[in-house]
Chain A
């Protein structure tokens, strides 16, 4: 990433990754740490992604959590307190990943000390490959714990300057 926006994204990515680490640590008891990028898995199919749009005074962002199918399953099992051999319902898997990105967005907002930052509703998609290469104004970091633990990629994507108006939710 060589653009000015890219530098901004890189600077904010650390905060976003920390927000995800705090969320997974406190809510799942999962001690994730930044890990070397696993480029070999980037193009694999079967990824799950939950994302959320953030609108701050300095622009619009999108925070995305990417998890391979096995990691998404394990994250959901942890969140719902399921046994390791218990398969979560597809709706619960989507719900779990949306809730994690939603909480992380709240932590990101808290740490940015920006009470006007607007957090949209999270969305979820599964089945596609992870983005490779990343969009020009995006950066990602892989978070992992033990070899049998789930891992996630945190992706922060700059969507340009904030527009005035638009739909906002309460308050």
Chain B
């Protein structure tokens, strides 16, 4: 199973990757991108099974990235991982077709709950 982690912070990409392992998701192929532009190119080329994306990023935000995926007809399961978690953001995420929003900071248990429906 291929997971694409999108965050402009290498530190956060590392945290997400480590938390995935701690949550017991083994044998994952993890791809990384630093913003929505890079992620869109990678998603179009590699068709990951799940995308975990930050919200605020340079060049192309997570929300713009999700909308671009929709326009390209890629219905890949998608979750936002973000330090802000307002009702407005949840509404925007839902309208864009995101499957969940995971707020930072998070535990392996939080990650497990968010992903269990999407990771085999």
Contact = CB atoms under 8 A, between A and B. Distances in A.
Interface size class of B (residues with CB under 8 A): 20 to 34
A12 interface: no
A21 B10 CA distance: 22
B27 interface: no
A110 B10 CA distance: 24
Interface stretch (B40-48, B70-78, B79-87, B112-120): B79-87
B105 A170 contact: no
Interface residues of A, number: 28
Contacts of A123: none
A26 B63 CA distance: 26
A95 B10 CA distance: 7
Decide if the interface of chain B is mainly helix, strand, loop or mixed: mixed
B59 interface: no
Contacts of A76: 11
Interface in B13-71: 14-15, 18, 56, 61, 63
Interface string A91-115: 1100110110011011101100001
Contact of A106 (B10, B11, B61, B85): B85
Nearest to B87: A115
Given A119-B83, A170-B61, A80 B92 contact: no
Nearest to A169: B56
A119 B84 contact: yes
A106 B92 contact: no
A106 B14 contact: no
A23 interface: yes
A106 B107 contact: no
Interface of A: 22-23, 25-27, 76, 79-81, 91-92, 95-96, 98-99, 102-103, 105-107, 109-110, 115, 119, 121, 169-171
Given A99-B15, A110-B85, 12 more contacts: A76-B11, A79-B11, A81-B18, A95-B9, A95-B11, A99-B12, A102-B83, A106-B85, A110-B103, A121-B56, A170-B61, A171-B92
